């Protein structure tokens, strides 16, 4: 999980840089299509039941694919294209809060005063992150839209994390990742058809393809399998807590690679997010 935090933290700057040469939806459709093919190859080489599901699980696993790979990724990639890598990472850092709330809704955990305080504090911190942006919000409004989309993306990922837990008792992390990714990627590809046709593939530079390869191989193929291993072994909440490290790494790399700087209110908001998430941890 520490390795995953590093991989995903670096990914924000890599994606932001790569999207200067690739259309967001085309980028996502291509990397998840290739990742699905690669994971399918691995699953078929293993004696792991292939892609067959129990009949009772199909509808809900299909919805997991839509939630975790179609909706989550569409919102994420469009959101990061409209705002900064650092703000996107901080928005995604709220995902553990929504994991806690969903666990409470499904009666997996009881709501303590400390957890409630953490939820409220983190959500207030997210609001300050958006308000404190130094981007000219009055002229375009895209910064607010981008931040809002990545926040919705965090909610979708929290839903995938919590609702995938029961199926990880019946299917291996690799198998569940592959099945849900393939199902979600079908929707991703359909939505991205106009972008795939409009993308000028021959104009993409070598650094652009290197960034794409990193985001495809490490972030998607390796990253999503590691995440499901964490959910299977440690549970949704404890796994999601490791995501707190991702924005810290993203902030460092967005400063080093992209020259991004957070405003004063955003620094305060970030501190509130992290404090809120810390208060929401299991005790």
pTM of the model: 0.78
pLDDT for position 134: 54
Q: Give the pLDDT confidence score for residue 111 in this predicted structure.
A: 59
- % of the chain at pLDDT higher than 70: 79
Mean pLDDT estimate for the chain:
80
Q: What is the pLDDT of residue 251?
A: 67
Among 123-127, 134-138, 164-168, 186-190, the least confident range: 134-138
Phi/psi of residue 4, nearest 5 degrees: -65, -40
Give the integer Cα–Cα distance in Å for 94 and 109. 18
Q: How does residue 212 score in pLDDT terms, banded at 50, 70 and 90?
A: very high
pLDDT of residue 49: 63
Residue range 224-240: mean pLDDT, rounded: 79
Question: Tens of pLDDT along 71-110?
Answer: 999 998 888 888 777 677 777 777 877 887 887 777 655 6
Q: Which residues have C-beta within 8 Å of that of residue 258, sequence separation ≥ 6?
A: 13, 16, 17, 84, 85
Give the single-character DSSP code of 19: T
- Cα(34)–Cα(38) distance, integer angstroms: 6
Confidence of residue 137 (pLDDT cuts 50, 70, 90): very low
pLDDT digits (tens, 9 = 90+) for 172-187: 888 888 999 999 999 9
pLDDT tens profile 111-132: 577 767 777 777 777 667 666 6
* pLDDT at position 120: 75
Q: Which tokens hold the place of 169?
A: 């008792």
């Amino acid at each position: 999980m520490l390795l995953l935090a590093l991989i995903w933290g670096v990914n924000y700057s890599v994606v932001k840089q790569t999207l200067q040469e690739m259309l967001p939806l085309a980028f996502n459709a291509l990397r998840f299509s290739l990742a699905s093919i690669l994971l399918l190859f691995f699953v078929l080489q293993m004696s792991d039941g292939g892609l067959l599901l129990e009949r009772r699980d199909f509808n809900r696993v299909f919805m997991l694919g839509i939630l975790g790979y179609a909706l989550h990724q569409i919102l994420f990639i469009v959101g990061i294209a409209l705002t900064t890598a650092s703000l996107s990472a901080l928005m995604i850092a709220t995902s553990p809060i929504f994991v806690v709330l969903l666990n409470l809704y499904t009666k997996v955990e009881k709501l303590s005063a400390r957890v409630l305080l953490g939820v409220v504090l983190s959500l207030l911190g997210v609001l300050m992150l958006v308000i404190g942006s130094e981007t000219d919000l009055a002229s375009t409004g895209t910064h607010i839209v981008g931040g809002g989309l990545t926040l919705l993306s965090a909610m979708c990922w929290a839903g995938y994390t919590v609702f995938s837990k029961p199926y990880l008792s019946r299917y291996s992390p690799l198998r569940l990742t592959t099945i849900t990714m393939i199902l979600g990627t079908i929707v991703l590809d359909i939505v991205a058809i106009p972008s795939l046709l409009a993308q000028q593939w021959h104009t993409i530079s070598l650094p652009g393809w290197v960034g794409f390869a990193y985001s495809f191989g490490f972030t998607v193929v390796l990253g999503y399998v590691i995440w499901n291993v964490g959910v299977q072994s440690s549970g949704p909440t404890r796994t999601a807590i490791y995501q707190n490290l991702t924005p810290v790494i993203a902030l460092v790399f967005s400063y080093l690679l992209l020259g991004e700087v957070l405003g004063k209110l955003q620094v305060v908001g970030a501190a509130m997010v992290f404090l809120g998430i810390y208060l929401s941890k299991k005790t």
